[in-house]
Chains A and B, each alone.
Chain A
Amino acid sequence: MTSTITPDTSATAVISVEEQQFNDLIEADSRIEPRDWMPEGYRKSLVRQISQHAHSEIIGMQPESNWITRAPSLKRKAILIAKVQDEAGHGLYLYSAAQTLGATRDDMTDALIAGKARYSSIFNYPTPSWADMGSIGWLVDGAAICNQVPLCRASYGPYGRAMVRICKEESFHQRQGFEILLELMAGTEEQRQMAQDSVNRWYWPALMMFGPPDDDSPNSAQSMAWKIKRHSNDELRQRFVNMLVPQAAVLGVTLPDPDLHFNEETQQWDLGEIDWTEFHEVLAGRGPNNAQRLQRRRDAHEDGRWVREAASAYARKQSERSEMAAS
Chain B
Amino acid sequence: MSNSTVNSDSAEADAPAATPEDAHGHVAVDVTTLDAELIEGPSFATPDVAEYALWLGDDSLILAQQLGAWISRAPELEEDVALGNVALDLIGHARSLLHYAGTASDRTEDDLAYWRTEPDFRSLHLVEQPNGDFAHTIARQFIVAHYLFELYSRLRASADATLAAIAAKAVKEVDYHRDHSTQWVLRLAQGTDESRRRMITAFSDLWPYVEEVFRDDPLIDRLEGIAVRPSSLLPAFDAAIAPVLAEAELEVPCGFVASGGGRTGKHSEHLAFLLAEMQVLTRAHPGASW
Contacts and interface: CB of A to CB of B under 8 A. Distances in A.
B191 A75 contact: no
Nearest to A188: B288
B241 to A, nearest CB: 19
B106 interface: no
Given A69-B68, A78-B88, A296 B73 contact: yes
Residue from A61, A71, A77 whose CB has the most chain B CB atoms within 10 Å: A77
Interface string B169-208: 0000000000000000011101110110010000000000
Contacts of B71: 61, 65, 68, 81, 84-85, 88
Contacts of B113: 74
B13 A168 contact: yes
A86 interface: yes
A85 B88 contact: yes
24 contacts: A70-B281, A72-B114, A72-B285, A74-B110, A75-B32, A77-B64, A77-B91, A78-B95, A82-B88, A84-B80, A84-B84, A85-B71, A85-B81, A89-B26, A165-B8, A172-B28, A188-B285, A190-B285, A304-B75, A307-B79, A307-B188, A307-B195, A310-B187, A310-B192
B257 interface: no
Contacts of B9: 165
B245 interface: no
Contacts of B72: 61-62, 65, 84, 88, 296, 300
Interface stretch (A23-31, A213-221, A238-246, A311-319): A311-319
The bracket for how many chain A residues form the interface is 35 or more
A173 B29 contact: yes
A269 B254 CA distance: 71
A74 B95 contact: yes
Contact of A72 (B98, B191, B277, B290): B290
Q: Give me the 9 closest cross-chain CB pairs, A-B, nearest first.
A: A304-B75, A310-B191, A310-B195, A85-B84, A307-B75, A82-B27, A65-B72, A61-B72, A314-B187
Interface of A: 58, 61-62, 65, 68-79, 81-86, 88-89, 91-92, 95, 130, 165, 167-169, 171-173, 175-176, 180, 183-184, 187-188, 190-191, 296, 299-300, 303-314, 317
A65 B282 CA distance: 17
B269 interface: no
Contacts of B287: 188
Nearest to A130: B281
Given A77-B91, A81-B87, A92 B29 contact: no
Contacts of B280: 70
Interface in B1-57: 4, 8-9, 11-14, 16, 25-30, 32
A88 B81 contact: yes
B195 A183 contact: no
Contacts of A172: 16, 28-30
By DSSP majority rule, is chain B's interface helix, strand, loop, or mixed?
Answer: helix
Interface in B128-166: 133-134
Residue from B29, B81, B285 whose CB has the most chain A CB atoms within 10 Å: B29
Given A85-B71, A171-B13, A310-B195, 9 more contacts: A58-B77, A85-B85, A172-B29, A300-B73, A300-B75, A303-B133, A303-B134, A304-B74, A306-B194
Residue from A86, A130, A188 whose CB has the most chain B CB atoms within 10 Å: A86
Contact of B81 (A89, A304, A307, A317): A89
Nearest to A306: B194
B191 A313 contact: yes
Nearest to B195: A310
